[in-house]
Amino acid sequence: MINDFMNIIEKLKNSNLKGRSGSGFPTGLKWELVKNEKADKKYIICNASEGEPGSSKDGFILKKYPQAVVEGMKIALATIDHSVAYFRAEQENKVLPKVSSYIYLRKDYYQKFKKPLEKLIGKLPITLFKKQGGYLSGEETTILNVIEGKRAEPRIKPPFPTQSGLFGCPTLVNNVETFYQVAKILKGEYKNTRFYSISGDVKHPGVYELSESWDIGQILKETKNWPNFDFFVQAGGGASGEILLSSELNQPIKGIAAIIVYNLKETNPSHLMKTWAEFFLKENCDKCVPCREGVFRISEMLKAGKIDKALLDDLFFVLRETSLCPLGKSVATPFESLLRKVYKI
C-alpha cells in the first residue's frame, strides 16, 4: 500500500484527471507542485463549498460516497510530506501529526454531513470547517482567508496556494469530486467519469455519474431528460454558465458540470438576467472596482428595462479583462450568450 502512495502522482498524471471545481487544472501537476515545495509545514483542503447555483454534485458525493472523499484526503496526506512516516505512525498507533488538513463545508453541508464525516475521519488529522461567507468562498484563495479568520475575499496571485497558501505554507486545494476520483484511481477503479447535475425543465433532475467524454446532448438523452419542447440550456453553472441552444449541444460541458434546461417559450429572458445580476451583486466581495461597479451598473440597467448593448459590451470587456477573481471574469458569459442567442442582439 505504501508503494501505491509513493507513485500516486504518476498515476494521477497518467489518468489525466483534472480538478472538478471548474478550473480544470491537472490534478497530478498540482499535487506535484505542492509536494516539491520545500517547507516545514503543508496543508490540504477539500473544498465542499459548492456555491454555484444548479450544482449539487459535491453534496451528492458527500451523501453517497463520503468514505471515498476521506480516502482521497488520506491519500493526499500520505503523499504530501513524508507519507511513509505518516502512515507508519498510524499503523504503529503512535501520535499522529497536528491538524494539517480541512474539509471546508458550506453551512447546510456541515449540518448534514458533520457526524458521518467525523466518524470516518477518526484520528486522521482532518478538521471540518464550517463555511462563513457566500459563493465566493468557494474560490481557493478566499478559502484560505476564511480559515485564517480574515475577510472572505480573494488574494492576488501569484503566489499561488501551491507555493504560499494557508498561513503562508504550501497548500493543496481540491474539491470533493476530485478527492473522490483520486481514491478511485488508487484502487484502479477510475473509468474517466464525472458527476453531472441536471435541473430545470426536465423530467428526471438529479446527479448522474457518466463519461466525461459525452457531449451535453448525449447526457440529456441518456438520462431521459431531452425535452419535447423548444429549449435552451445553461451549461457550466446557474450563474456563470454559457447559454446554448438545442442545436449546440454536440460539445462536452465546460467548467462545473451543471446543466440547467429552460423552456424557450415559457422563460422570460429579462427575468433570468435580473436573477443573475442579483446573484452576482449579492455575492460580490466588493474588493475590486471593475467587478463592484460593473455588476452594479448591469443590475441598474436591467431594473430600468433598457438594454444598451454598446454599454454592456464595454462593461463585459472590463469585467473579463480586469476583474481580480473568477467571479468578475465570468459575469459576461451568461449575459452575452443569452443576448446573442435568445434576444438576437
For the stretch 28-82, pLDDT in tens is 999 999 999 988 889 999 999 888 888 999 999 999 999 999 999 999 998 987 4
Of 89-98, 112-121, 162-171, the poorest mean pLDDT is in 89-98
Q: Which CATH number fits domain 193-263: 3.10.20.600, 1.10.10.410, 3.30.390.10, 3.40.50.720?
A: 3.10.20.600
Model's pTM, two decimal places?
Answer: 0.90
Rounded mean pLDDT, 73-93? 66
Written out in words, the top-level CATH class of the domain with range 2-186 is: alpha beta
Which is more confidently placed, 46 or 329? 46
Q: How far is CA 35 from CA 29, 233, 287, 345, in A?
A: 10, 40, 32, 49
DSSP 320: H
Which range among 127-136, 229-238, 314-323 shows the weakest confidence by mean pLDDT? 127-136
Paired residues of 105 in beta bridges: 48, 130
Reduce the DSSP state of residue 193 to 3 states and report it. strand
Q: Above pLDDT 70, what percent of the chain? A: 92
- pLDDT at residue 288 is higher than 90: no
- Dist. CA 197–CA 215, nearest whole Å: 14
Burial of 321 (0-12, 13-18, 19+ CB in 10 A): exposed
Q: Which residues, including other chains, have CB under 8 Å from residue 335's CB and lie 6 or more apart?
A: 273, 276, 298, 312, 316
Alpha-carbon gap, residue 32 to 114, rounded angstroms: 30
pLDDT value at 315 more than 70: yes
Mean pLDDT rounded to a whole number for the chain: 89
For 170-195, letters b (16+ CB in 10 Å) and e give bbbbbbbbbbbbbbbbbeeebeeebb
By C-alpha distance, which of 169, 58, 74 is closest to 109? 58
Domain boundaries in the chain? Answer: 2-186, 193-263, 269-341
pLDDT at 307: 86
Q: Would 193-263 and 269-341 be classified into the same CATH topology? A: no
DSSP string computed for 277-291: HHHHHHH----SHHH
Q: Class for domain 269-341, per CATH?
A: mainly alpha
Q: Which three cell numbers stand for residue 282?
A: 449579492
Kindly state the average pLDDT of the residues 20-33.
88
Kindly tell me if the per-residue pLDDT of 331 is higher than 70.
yes
Q: Whose grid coordinates read 448534514?
A: 112
Range with lowest mean pLDDT among 76-85, 98-107, 153-162, 328-337: 76-85
Q: Which cell is 101 given?
A: 488538513
**CA separation for the pair 333, 172 (Å, rounded):** 29
Q: Which of 20-24, 123-127, 195-199, 234-238 has the lowest mean pLDDT?
A: 20-24
- pLDDT over 90, % of the chain: 65
Q: What is the pLDDT of residue 41?
A: 86
Q: Is the pLDDT of residue 105 over 50?
A: yes
